[in-house]
Amino acid sequence: MKKFIVSGGGTGGHIFPAISIANAIRKRWPDSEILFVGAEDRMEMERVPAAGYRIIGLPVAGFDRKNMIKNISVAAKLIKSMNKARGIINEFKPDIAIGVGGYASGPILKAASAKGIPTLIQEQNSYAGITNKMLAKKASVICVAYEGMESYFPKDKIVLTGNPCRQDLIVSAENRKKGYEHFNLDPKKRTILMLGGSLGAATLNKSIVSALDKLRKDENVQVLWQCGKYYFKDMQKLQTEGKIPHNIHLMDFISRMDYAYSVADLIISRAGAGSISEFSLLGKAVILVPSPNVAEDHQTKNAQALVNKEAAVMISDALAPKLLFDFALEMVRNDDELKKLSENIIQLAQYNSAERIVDEIEKLI
């Protein structure tokens, strides 16, 4: 029986690819044993068991670049995590360790490499994260989603595989009629889908609130709005007060993202690597508003990679509250622009990414 460790997390952008890889491993080796290693108190500790996998948490945390005093405790947690990671490797004895980025992948892949166990890194972004850059020297293979990653990783280790995506989105992408019915949308209206992630994005919510009067007057456009769990109560209050017009459909979280994608004529989103991969596979026109609150501004770099190929439009976080919906309302009516963006972004799609990553895993074990 083959044994695999999959490590990383912290955000959905790391967790969803990790679960997709694990699912592909299980499909190829049905009797395999898969263990996830994540960071304690992060979302992977809930999401991974919900997907049917066992997970162990490390007490690891990221360094705070603004508060150096806080980093004393972070360093102590890192030492504890390294010790715990060595224990996990010695006890579980994996055939390979796979890292998807995030705090936990550092200690566990270092511990695996020290024991001579092959390691594989999966980098989702166009700008490599700190953890993956540190692990690259000892990694056996580095699977990437963007071209031109030689400036971050050894060229001979790089394999272009793309980012693994949730397969249910791909299967149900054309299910437009059911999507309209599910969300109670009007099929005669143009639909804007606005996503801020499962927790929400303050700037995107602020942008739509500032445009409520414009949207109220526009009877030919409707908005499916995932505001996020953090902001739902405040936005729901506006709805109760009658400030949100009927052509805006407010939700805290969209569980049927396959339906949401199928009805969207235009998407407004942050520029996370996982989301961009999904937009590419589905050929969706998108306005990207990169989050400024991410390490090394990697979302801006992700978005710029698409803008350079005329595959997306980017609006900065600072300008979004003032300009986003003026631009979106004009763009959603422009069939030529929507078609151009759709045709260009689908050219960037990498298909069967999880299976291609498992092909690389199979070569190493």
Q: Tell me phi and psi for residue 60, to 5 degrees.
A: -80, 150
Nearest-angstrom CA–CA distance, 124 and 276 = 10
**Angle at CA 163, nearest 5°, toward 128 and 309?**
75
Kindly report the number of other CB atoms within 10 A of residue 87's CB atom. 12
Q: Evaluate whether 228 touches 252 at the Cβ level (below 8 Å).
A: yes
- Its sign, for the CA torsion 103, 108, 110, 113, is negative
Pairing of the two strands 248-251 and 266-269: unpaired
Strands of 161-310 (E only): list them: 190-195, 221-226, 248-251, 266-269, 286-288
299 known member of a binding site: yes
Q: Which amino acid is at 337?
A: E
162 known member of a binding site: no
254 known member of a binding site: yes
Residue found under tokens 């990783």: 153
220 known member of a binding site: no
- Structure tokens given for 54: 């066992």
Pseudo-torsion of CA 63, 69, 70, 71, nearest 10°? Answer: 30
Name the strand (E) or helix (H) holding 337. Answer: helix 335-346
125 known member of a binding site: yes
12 known member of a binding site: yes
Binding-site positions for UDP-N-acetyl-alpha-D-glucosamine: 11-13, 125, 166, 198, 254, 299
Binding positions? 11-13, 125, 166, 198, 254, 299
